[in-house]
Amino acid sequence: MGKDYSSEVKELIKKYKKEDIAYGKRLDLLLSRIGATQEEVENEILNCETLRFAEKQEKDGEARYALFFIYSNKRGRIYLITFRDRSLRVITIIPLGRLSVRRYLKRRFI
């Protein structure tokens, strides 16, 4: 079980605005996968209200953060983000279903 970087991520995110968010994949592909709008995604990332856990990953010489947003026992999302010079880059968004949320809750949050 890794260390929780939620407080560190929240401090880093406070420096960015909606205009500073960039996407690593086509936006329509990411949004259709999770069934949300761009406005909802940006508000969720910037507010971090339902952020339960943040995991730091080192890949290709940069720090990436996996942000686990859990809404209920049946729904959630993982945002994989990185911080660049002037932008917060959303690499990918992964929806979590009932079984995945249960598995993550058992391993990470309990």
According to DSSP, residue 4 is labeled: P
Q: Is the pLDDT of residue 71 over 60?
A: yes
Top-tier CATH class for 6-109 = alpha beta
78 phi, psi to nearest 5 deg? -115, 125
- Looking up tokens 């605005």 gives 17
What are the extents of the domains in the chain? 6-109
pLDDT tens digits, 75-109? 999 999 999 888 999 999 999 988 888 887 776 65
What is the C-alpha to C-alpha distance for residues 39 and 67, in angstroms, rounded to an integer?
18
Query: pTM higher than 0.85, yes or no?
Result: yes
Q: Which of 58, 62, 45 is nearest to 9 (CA)?
A: 45
